[in-house]
Structure 1
Amino acid sequence: MPPGRVPRGRNEAVTLAPVTVEAYRAFLASPAGTALGAGFLQCPSWAAVKDGWQAQLLGWGPDPGAGELEGVALVLLRQFPGTRKYFAYLPEGPVTDWTDPHVDGWLTPLLEHLRREGAFAVRIGPSPAYRRWDAPRLKSCVGPERRLGDVLASQVDALGTAVAERLRARGWRRCGGDGTGEDGDAQPRHVFHVPLAGRTTDDLWSGLNQEWRRNVRRSRKEGVEVVVGSAAELPDFYRLLCVTERRDGFRLGRSLAYYQRQYAALNAEEPGRMKLYLARHQGEILAAHTMIHVGRRVWYQTGASADHRREVRPSHALQWRMLRDAHALGADVYDMRGVPSTLDPDERAYGLLRWKLGTGGQVVETLGEWEKPLAGTANQTLYRAFQAYMSRR
């Protein structure tokens, strides 16, 4: 239970109300807020990144207006075409104490508020983990047509299991179903974590597999230079990202303006919150990765690299520097974000998982995202239309 958290009775609710940016940020920076581990998608600055969405900052507590908070939420509202109704989205939120078994105390006022605001459905992203697989276990289970769900987890999180049961009992539906597929989630269902707490840099180095250590040494021998760039190099990053998308067969669908807006918004909120790391070789930028820091968590968000001179291993050099910088910041975990669920080496997507497994971390299956249509026949009808609309997109 986070510091300062007071347990409530089964029927006791807290007040929910809009809060100021200052009160919201103060809570995230407090011991109670830090203990809840908010991600960057729940920072107020993320509202400025999401073009086309309206945003609200909400807080729960004895007296939210006076800054007495127990939890907060950034709510993004997207208007459904041709109506005055909204889809409400809390990416990787709300930021609250999920150990509280009496979730109705804060979920009910949230749903009532959003219904009054014209929302027809709500999507949330609970923070507890569900299952974890250590790298050695997954490496030993690679094979044709195998997936993460086929492998016995190294750890099953009791809290995650309990939260999932509580949400189902209240009519929430897990996006993409309860299998291993990620279809329906806007954020990655499976992410990759490298634990940092209690480890030295020597521990981090020994945690890398032999291939990773060999490639980091090679990048150093070849003269790859890693530096922290600025907004001026974002066009170089975006050019390399387009190259990477073509080479690896995926498309994020984000523009250069998106990354410029993200860089400006996050760093205006806190200088150094988002950094752009560059790997140069013989004066040319061969790879560029972005990193985000909030509280005691650090994320490797997006990576991009050139098609040529890949033998000098610029991305390995970047990640080793970013891993050490995250450790120096006092982060508990280095989050390398999404990985695919396939363990089939013949599938193209497996290459990304294999690369991240080399750091010696673990795959974490989150609870994923959960949706609930709000009460009312019209909302139920609109929710079904919205699902059909999203499937066509």
Structure 2
Amino acid sequence: MVTHSAPSLMVHAETDAQRWNAALASLPAHHVLQSWEWGEIKRQTGWWAHRLLFTQQGAIVAAAQVLTRRLGRAPLAVQYTPKGPALDYADPALTVQVLAALEDYARRSRAIFIKMDPDVPDDTARGRAILDLLRQRGWQAAAEQVQFKNTALLDLAAGEEAVLAGFKQKWRYNVRLAGRKGVTVRRGSTAELETFYRLYAETGARDGFLIRPLAYYRDAWQTLLNGQGQVGGCLLLADVGAETVAGLFIARFARTAWYLYGASSSQQREAMPNHLLQWEAMRWAIAQGCTTYDLWGAPTEMSESDALWGVWRFKEGFGARMASHIGAFDFAPSALTYYLYTVAMPRVLNLMRRRHRATPTA
């Protein structure tokens, strides 16, 4: 039997934003979190983006934006390629070569680990093969997922009428009800990002999730709103009279739009502003040429006990389907260093905190 080796894989760092985004958009499994702009956004929180393009016989076949954070003065780092790398995961030889390159990159960078969480389905033969491959190569399921493991996807390719027809009857009713209740939706400007942030902070306090300072979101939102070419963003605000009661922020990369942030006031909820906001977000995405709307975040377990169950039921009403993914995996060049960083050190710090709280003060 004659065997053929896969063409050699060449790796180089890309330093031009337009070339990077164009290359990324040409690949399967690309994501806005792999865009040049997202790498720039993460710089303000201490991450540095290294953008690696992989070529075979002169053709671009994969891309990985690797975010690196150095740990103080120690010659160690942690690395993360969010929702990447982008490549055709149906090509096993290519997948092996890209994984090997990332593993080597982590070793040379003296990284404690490198994390990846591509949108590879876990309920298909291809997904199961990727899971087996990762485990065989020493990657392990990460305790920290960072992004949502699963998401909700809506097909926009058929256009507005077909999308609206795919809503559950109650959801179509609520979209129309919002209009009758006086809800209007408009594009927000950069000057209104603080208004949106106040709503987002109120939502976080009400629903029990932590948020970052305004500076982080302002930079992120402005960067995406000012995106060009493959990248874009849109802030939508819902008003009832002179009061802004809800909003959402969506990002676009190539032909996919992502619902990244949503916020609402406790006021006027009976007017159903969030239903109308989502419909207008879909209309914006369709106008931008998008064929997929990723509503971002779905339950890990399809059970009412899952914290995202109510969120999922809301998204499902728009006709979204569940997309279950393999989740995050870590590769650690040194098993001992990985254990010390991810298991032993957090335990020690937690013990120290408990002892500090138990120590009486004078």
Which TM class, normalised by the smaller chain length?
Answer: 0.7 to 0.9
- 2:130 matched residue in structure 1: 163
Whether the 8 Å contact between 2:29 and 2:87 is mirrored in structure 1 is no
Structure 2 CA distance for aligned equivalents of residues 343 and 119 of structure 1: 35
Q: Give yes or no for the alignment of 1:109 onto 2:67.
A: no
Question: 1:390 deviation in Å?
Answer: 6.0
In structure 2, give the amino acid aligned to 1:107: L
Q: Give yes or no for the alignment of 1:193 onto 2:153.
A: yes
- Change over 3 Å in CA distance of 1:107–1:344 after alignment to 2: closer
Question: 1:210 deviation in Å?
Answer: 1.9
In structure 2, give the amino acid aligned to 1:239: R
Q: Give yes or no for the alignment of 1:54 onto 2:66.
A: no
Runs of 5+ in structure 1 lacking a partner? 1-7, 131-155, 177-183
Whether the 8 Å contact between 1:129 and 1:366 is mirrored in structure 2 is yes
In structure 2, give the amino acid aligned to 1:24: W
- 1:332 matched residue in structure 2: 291
Q: Give yes or no for the alignment of 1:77 onto 2:72.
A: no
Q: How does 1:288-303 map to 2 (within 5 A)?
A: 288-303=247-262
Question: 1:99 deviation in Å?
Answer: 1.4
Structure 1 CA distance for aligned equivalents of residues 128 and 28 of structure 2: 18
* Structure 1 residues 318-341: Cα deviation after superposition (integer angstroms, max 9, x where no partner): 001111222232322110000223
Question: 1:350 deviation in Å?
Answer: 2.5
Runs of 5+ in structure 2 lacking a partner? 351-362
* Structure 1 residues 83-119: Cα deviation after superposition (integer angstroms, max 9, x where no partner): 2111111000111221111123222223223322222
Q: How does 1:1-393 map to 2 (within 5 A)?
A: 9-10=4-5, 12-21=7-16, 22-29=18-25, 33=26, 35-50=27-42, 51-62=45-56, 68-81=59-72, 83-102=74-93, 103-130=95-122, 156-176=123-143, 184-197=144-157, 199-251=158-210, 253-270=211-228, 273-345=232-304, 349-374=308-333, 379-388=334-343, 389=345
In structure 2, give the amino acid aligned to 1:381: L
Q: Tell me which moved more, 267-276 or 320-329.
A: 267-276
Structure 1 CA distance for aligned equivalents of residues 100 and 138 of structure 2: 12
- Change over 3 Å in CA distance of 1:220–1:119 after alignment to 2: same
In structure 2, give the amino acid aligned to 1:227: R
In the superposition, the TM-score normalised over structure 2's length comes to 0.87
Whether the 8 Å contact between 2:114 and 2:332 is mirrored in structure 1 is yes
CA RMSD after TM alignment: 2.3
Structure 2 CA distance for aligned equivalents of residues 380 and 341 of structure 1: 27
Q: Paired residues, what number?
A: 341
Structure 2 CA distance for aligned equivalents of residues 95 and 36 of structure 1: 6
* Structure 1 residues 345-386: Cα deviation after superposition (integer angstroms, max 9, x where no partner): 477642212111111211111111111101xxxx33221122
Question: 1:9 deviation in Å?
Answer: 4.7
Structure 2 CA distance for aligned equivalents of residues 48 and 250 of structure 1: 25
In structure 2, give the amino acid aligned to 1:192: A
In structure 1, give the amino acid aligned to 2:133: R
Structure 1 CA distance for aligned equivalents of residues 53 and 242 of structure 2: 49
Structure 1 CA distance for aligned equivalents of residues 346 and 185 of structure 2: 41
- Change over 3 Å in CA distance of 1:205–1:70 after alignment to 2: same
Whether the 8 Å contact between 1:276 and 1:288 is mirrored in structure 2 is yes
Identity of aligned residues (%): 30
- Change over 3 Å in CA distance of 1:160–1:167 after alignment to 2: same
Question: 1:222 deviation in Å?
Answer: 1.4
Whether the 8 Å contact between 1:175 and 1:369 is mirrored in structure 2 is yes
Question: 1:62 deviation in Å?
Answer: 3.9
Whether the 8 Å contact between 2:41 and 2:220 is mirrored in structure 1 is yes
* Structure 1 residues 232-264: Cα deviation after superposition (integer angstroms, max 9, x where no partner): 11111111111111222222x322111111123
